[in-house]
Structure 1
């Protein structure tokens, strides 16, 4: 079958062990895209938004009075431009210079964006700090990035002041919300200069200064990856890297391959701004002069924020979409009767219609899916999922339930967010689309895992990327930089080819779309010689209604896998009741009940095999865990990825006990 969504680069050499590079089908052999025409820095990107929107709303927030959040209050593009200019000038008056680093440490809010835009205007380098970073990681980032200035919220201020002895280079803390007498006293004791954010703006009014001279090749940010092992790595991204993403999306819009964003669109910002995905999304929306409303900082109140803001653009991660899918089906199953019959018929009809590219239905959208659509505010026109693979079943459901254009992207911090994206006309799920027009992709053989770029009909291998959105280096870490980029020998020296290894295993399907199927490093061998890719099995389990989180493990001394499952309590109880297992007791007793554990194993095995898992991949014993994996307990990274090494150590006693019990049988 001829390729539809990607094209091989015609003149690329054939290299043993590698597939030929592929590009987006409308890009072909034309040069890879960079920044949008006429935009030479992220500051100029902001000026374009100001020119388009002017006095129209830009940043919105909800004021909370007596515990009740009101309507969104907005500041215009022109107003924010004035605040950005003043804040940056104020920082310069305090001693920050071009190419110095500026820390940003808070949940999403106006001041975060103002601080970021001021950095682009005056050529500072932003260093986001994850809202959930532990003390060790904070100390590492602040020290390595040589942060003297950090903008942060009151709660983070006390945290950093108490770490003062470990952060000798820290000089200024700019507090976004409010100062207390205790904080002022503590800062004086710790010899740290404390400033209110608005006071720094006033300094800028009193001491205006010329803007910086950032170019496309200037460093915009050092974005530390959360990492699932060890300390975070500082990914150095330039203005060109981030703007290449904006240019690619703009090109896809011009070619009518993506939803057309205008200044009439609105967006809710709740994904952490410390992650490159959210920052790139915001740069895209700024380019078109769209509105950005912030959530209250509490995900438990997100639905209320959505109901008030009524955004047209919604970007989220599989974790949320999986939760929606599980909760809806659990409710439908519990309800039963004619209502459940209607819902299932609506899903079946609309799913069948996806084959023809249709996502709407004159009856079912009003009768069955209307209330669900309102949960995202009722006005969402385009939904994007990123950060991790989304199962085909869940993606199809989101498409039909919300009757919106649905896209999925794939990428990493090192690729400035997306390096692939799905197409407007492609309603088939289970893949992550084709390369962004600013980049190209090739697959490298992984012989130890049995993956080859020569596999027929679908080539497989490690995903490698090259393009204008690919990072330049890991900050102060040449060893890991060299390991990540492919080098070749030229004139007696090893030369960086620009090809970046992802660590992910991908497969080109028969229409030239990329499917992420594995991880190169997260592989273990069982005693009989079979290799298991645990992430694949965990992704399958996580789409079952009874599973909230999953951890699958094994080793070469054992012949099977075992697992830790964090159940959805309501769904698990429903399953147990169907099988006559008592649920009218303490949940801890239920989770330790061998009958409940056996039922979960049986149910998940049956489910996994329906999703093409092999028998040896399926867990043979389970530990049911009441406490979710979280950033706080060290089992998740700040991007909510399982920290496998930590999970292995944390549950080692349970893992050993499960294997001992299996040997007795």
Structure 2
């Protein structure tokens, strides 16, 4: 089988000269050998990505959650793009009601769920820096990220609320409000009061944004969309500033690369995946490694049986 090469050399390496170090050759994806994809008209920010999708596909399913019936996960229940958009607007209004303005930092702490995405889109709508909080980066990582990024409000999975309290008193200077993805217990309200911290259940926060209107600020490509913290090689987590331009450029590239895959295409790819049947799976390398490790024994066994 012929080997496929997905890289092309666009610039030769340069030898060291005048005290400057040598530079290796530059490579680019084969899909961009003749230049980068043209920008998508009207797409200047991450908010535009969502807004344009809502305008184009208002009734299409966007966010799904599996129903739990008798302790078992059942079918997916979906919210459409327009339904999600309406909730995003309420969450954005509630953020502004709390005094959060463009350029401030908003943390999100929890596993993947519709509320995670809704919170992120509300940040995009009002030009807030979205800051994912990870306790997988090690003990004290959440406290460090809140203080380092100066996070003033955080959306939190229910079972992570008590973990967030552990960041006090160190984070007290910055963190002023917590919004649960679900409910808040009386004990958690009492604990928040000790730290002069406002705390809301998801429904309480949505009600805060009801019947309120705030103008959406102008977003530019050069604005920061998110601060992504990584473990780094040594020391504290490192915050990577990701601009709107980085993401909208990526979207333009993906659109070009996957032009043959449309919204009705379902193939490939564990329980959730078996139920969802995704066409495309976007994942961090660690997840892909786990999928690879899970399938490899079956592939090897099949190979021994068939000779392929």
State the TM-score, normalizing by the size of structure 1: 0.42
1:346 pairs with 2:302: no
Offset at residue 43 of structure 1 (A): 0.9
1:223 CA drift (Å) = 0.6
Q: CA RMSD in A?
A: 2.6
Give the corresponding residue for 2:59: 55
- Superposed, 1:313-324 pairs within 5 Å as 313-316=280-283, 317-324=287-294
Q: Distance in 1 between matches of 2:13 and 2:34?
A: 14
Distance 1:141 1:19, change over 3 A: same
5+ residue gaps in structure 1?
255-259, 269-301, 333-339, 349-665
CA positional deviation for 1:5:
4.5
Equivalent in 173, 178, 182 of residue 183 of structure 2: 178
Deviation at residue 309 of structure 1 after TM alignment: 1.8
Instruction: Sort the Cα spacing of 1:53 and 1:213 in 2 relative to 1 into closer, same or farther, 3 A.
Output: same
Give matches, 1:399-548, under 5 Å.
none
1-side partners of 2:38 and 2:199: how far apart?
Answer: 40
Query: The residue matched to 2:218 in structure 1 has which SS?
Result: coil
**Conservation of the 8 A alpha-carbon contact between 2:105 and 2:151:** yes
Deviation for aligned residue 1:266: 6.6
Take 1:62 and 1:92, find their aligned partners in 2: how far apart are those partners? 31
Q: What is residue 310 of structure 1 aligned with on the other side?
A: 277
Match of 1:211 in 2: 216
Match status 1:84 vs 2:72: no
Contact 2:65 2:78 in 1 (8 A): yes
Aligned match of 2:169 in 165, 180, 184?
A: 165
Distance in 2, Cα, partners of 1:207 & 1:4: 54
Take 1:170 and 1:307, find their aligned partners in 2: how far apart are those partners? 40
Cα distance in structure 2, aligned partners of 1:34 and 1:140: 39
SS, match of residue 270 in structure 2: helix
Classify 1:13/1:158 alpha carbon distance in 2 versus 1 (closer, same or farther; 3 Å).
Answer: closer
| 2:229–2:239 contact (8 Å) kept in structure 1 | yes
> Cα gap change, 1:84/1:265 in structure 2, threshold over 3 Å: closer, same or farther?
farther
The answer for the alignment partner of 2:247 in structure 1 is: 242
**Residue 144 (structure 1) aligns with:** 148
Q: CA deviation at 1:244?
A: 1.4
Name the structure 1 match of 2:237.
232
What is the CA distance between 1:242 and its match in structure 2? 1.3
Give the drift of 1:23.
2.8
- Cα distance in 2, alignment partners of residues 64 and 252 from structure 1: 37
CA shift for structure 1 position 344: 2.5
Aligned pair in 2 of structure 1 residues 262, 5: CA closer, same or farther (>3 Å)?
Answer: closer
CA deviations on 1:277-306 (whole Å, 9 max, x unpaired) are: xxxxxxxxxxxxxxxxxxxxxxxxx92222
- Do the aligned residues in 1 keep the contact of 2:45 with 2:244 (CA within 8 Å)? yes
CA distance in 1, matches of 2:299, 2:224: 47
2:19 corresponds in structure 1 to none
For residues 320-349 of structure 1, what are the alpha-carbon distances to aligned partners after superposition, in whole Å with 9 as ceiling and x for unaligned?
A: 23322344268x4xxxxxxx7xx535361x
Task: Describe the shift of the 1:28–1:309 C-alpha distance in structure 2 as closer, same or farther (beyond 3 A).
Answer: closer
Separation of aligned partners in 1, 2:196 and 2:225: 30
Which residue in 2 is equivalent to 1:110?
114
Alignment of 1:278-297 (within 5 A): none
Partner of 2:192: 187
Distance 1:9 1:228, change over 3 A: closer
- CA displacement at 1:98 relative to structure 2: 0.5
Tell me: CA distance 1:181–1:65, structure 2 relative to 1, closer, same or farther (3 Å): farther
Indicate yes or no: 2:262 matched with 1:262.
yes
Task: Give the TM-score normalised by the residue count of structure 2.
Answer: 0.86
TM-fit CA distance, 1:224: 0.5
When residues 318 and 304 of structure 1 are mapped into structure 2, their CA distance, relative to the original with a 3 A threshold, is closer
* Other structure's SS at 1:148 match: strand
| Structure 2 match to 1:552 | none
Q: Check whether the contact 2:135–2:142 (CA below 8 A) recurs between aligned residues.
A: no
Match status 1:328 vs 2:295: no
2:70 paired residue number = 66
DSSP 3-state at the match of 2:210: helix
SS state at 1:206 partner: coil
Q: 1:128 aligns with which of 128, 132, 135?
A: 132
Cα distance, 1:4 vs structure 2: 6.3
> Matches of 2:30 and 2:185 in 1, distance apart?
57
Task: Quote the Cα distance in structure 2 between the aligned partners of 1:324 and 1:86.
Answer: 42
| Structure-2 residue corresponding to 1:9 | 10
* Cα separation, 2, equivalents of 1:71 and 1:144: 41
- Which protein is bigger by CA-based radius of gyration? 1
Q: Which has the higher contact order (CA 8 A, sep 6+)?
A: 2
